[in-house]
Amino acid sequence: MKHTLLAVALAAGSVSAQPDSIFVNAKVYTVDETFSVAEAFAVEDGMFAAIGTNEDIRTLAADSTKVIDLNGMTVLPGLIDAHGHMAGLGQLQLGVVDLAGTTSFEQVIERVVERAKTKEPGEWVIGRGWDNESWEDKALPTHDELSSALPDNPVWISRVDGHAALANARAMEVADVSAGTAVPEGGEMLRDNNGNPTGIFVDNAEALIGRVVPAMETSGEDLILAAQDMCLSVGLTGVHDAGVGPDMIEVYRTLERERKLDVRVHGMIPGRLAMKWFEENEPYHGPFFSMRATKLYIDGAMGSRGAWMLEPYADRPVGPEGEPYVGLAVSEPELIQAVAMHGLIKGYQVCTHAIGDRGNREVLDAYENGSEEVGYDLSIGDHRFRIEHAQILAPEDIGRFAELNVIPSMQPTHCTSDMRWVEERVGPVRADGAYVWQSLLASGVRIAGGSDFPVESHNPFLGLYAAVTRQNLDEEPRGGWRPTERMTREQALRSFTIDAAFAGFNEKNVGSIEVDKLADFIVIDRDYMSCPDREIADIVVLSTWIEGTAVFTR
């Protein structure tokens, strides 16, 4: 890591005699190519115009220049979450019951019952965020107690990973779901010993209930603006929104036109709509919203045992029919390949959710086979295809990301949430392939950092802490879980800035503090690079700036 104080960086003609503002007396981590550190910078017309020492930057100030003294605080480029769900985050503010942090199924029921008091009989209660792995009884719940507590309101509550959900009896009745209901391929409806539904629906089977759940009355604009406020308050100036339907695309375009959008959003059209969208729409890249990507799924999640594995689960080796249980393929690999081919032809980025080692291999194969079909060389192309999550990899597949120029888009807090039970799911040998950040970086790829909010917290400093420690907030396990895969602080910061910007085709405009880039930056209350490890998680954002204008101040 190079900590060289920059001399003033002046592009020819880039700084007038009167920059709009200068920011002095700070520790500025530029995240440029050499990870240089500066004391001050100037902003003109929303761009970084000069970066250097306090003395040199002060010489640029004219009578009309605003001088902001940052009093020794630390400045970082605006952080970018490469995998989040903006509408889902907004829903937690505007109507969906937040079940995160519940320590028992009884506490889940209490929260749902409390919300039901505001509802009329027959109205739905929707919630998300419960995690049975955090309860003393870690078994997946059944609907019986929930149905007894709320017999008159249909209830639909999603597990923390979003790949399993629990319905009460009233919800199953409304959806006309019973023991004899056919289950979609790539899904599972769990049953009790008598063959009746337990209320748990996994992956594609969630559609059996989801198809009758009414849409929220809250407008899409309200959801995005509520999420935006939350993002800006924790230093996120960019988000890659992993699943934006046509209706929400129009919401984003409207917010952008009306200059209400402050977070830069890289949108992904749902995979089932991808090829039709590619045919009918050119890739779009605006100042605050882009639509040039799609998001598909190959499998489910490890927590609900839907991740597609090469070998059976260690803690569920056989399925309901006695067959080896290896999780769920929620899409056919042929679909991934077809969309990849179409994306290469039409200039769209293809991003695919893959968690299990089999899921990741199938996606890499689909990308490779699709490129060969259309005569495209992935090794030199600028397609920037991605795998979202890449949580469990077989050793022989780690190097293929670099070989195929595929970006692993990974969420460090998934590691520290899941490390409690990963070995139970897949055993100690396969667990060596879990969240292999350092191995991937060593192979030559960039990792795009994110959170998958609202599955995890939207606070990126929790992700940075998880990346550099592989510990929970109690600093356990000592030394970190499989610590050889920890990131350095510089690597982690790059993953949430310039490398995330690269994953969204925007590295020339944002992601680092450099002359002629947009002046998106944050001011934080302590030095990210030198504070004790545990304090990274406690970093507070004092202000967030977009194009040199404060959009959040604490």
Q: Indicate whether 36 belongs to any domain.
A: no
* Dist. CA 248–CA 408, nearest whole Å: 26
225 and 331 assigned to the same domain:
yes
Contacts of 62 (CB under 8 A, 6+ apart): 17, 18, 19
| CA pair distance 239, 258, nearest whole angstrom | 19
516/449 same-domain check: yes
Asked whether residue 266 falls in the same domain as residue 131, the answer is no
Q: What is the mean pLDDT of residues 345-355?
A: 98
Specify the pTM: 0.91
- Give the Cα separation of 475 and 533 in Å (integer): 9
pLDDT tens column, 188-238 = 999 999 999 999 999 999 999 999 999 888 899 999 999 999 999 999 999
Closest to 446 (Cα-Cα) out of 400, 479, 392, 406: 406
Residue where a domain terminates, one of 183, 210, 237: 210
Q: What is the pLDDT of residues 525-542, one digit of tens each?
A: 999 999 999 999 999 999
- Mark whether 322 and 416 lie in a shared domain: yes
- Report yes or no: 41 and 29 within 8 Å, Cβ to Cβ: no
181 belongs to a structural domain = yes
- Judged against a pLDDT cut of 50, whether residue 460 lies above it is answered with yes
> Do 195 and 265 fall within a single domain?
no
202 and 224 in a single domain? The answer is no
Residues 402 and 526 placed together within one structural domain of the fold: yes
Q: Are residues 180 and 227 in the same domain?
A: no
Q: Of 164, 185, 210, which residue is a domain's last?
A: 210
pLDDT digits (tens, 9 = 90+) for 473-493: 999 999 999 999 999 999 999
CATH of the domain at 153: 3.10.310.70
Q: Are 394 and 533 within one domain?
A: yes
Domain shared by 233 and 203, yes or no? no
341 belongs to a structural domain: yes
More confident residue, 13 or 169: 169
How far from the centroid of its chain's Cα atoms is residue 210's Cα?
22
9 falls within a domain: no
Task: Please indicate, yes or no, whether residues 247 and 137 belong to a single structural domain of this protein.
Answer: no
Residues spanned by the domain of 336: 220-546
Q: Residue 218's pLDDT is what?
A: 87
Q: What is the Cα–Cα distance from 142 to 274, expressed in whole angstroms? A: 36
Q: Could you give the 3-state DSSP secondary structure of residue 278?
A: helix
Q: 27-36, 116-125, 176-185: which has the highest mean pLDDT?
A: 27-36
387 lies in the same domain as 528: yes
* DSSP letter string, 165-176: EEE-HHHHHHTT
Does residue 447 sit within a domain? yes
182-186, Cβ contacts within 8 angstroms, sequence gap of 24 or more: 183/208, 184/208, 186/328, 186/329, 186/330, 186/331
| Best CA proximity match to 82, nearest among 388, 357, 347 | 388
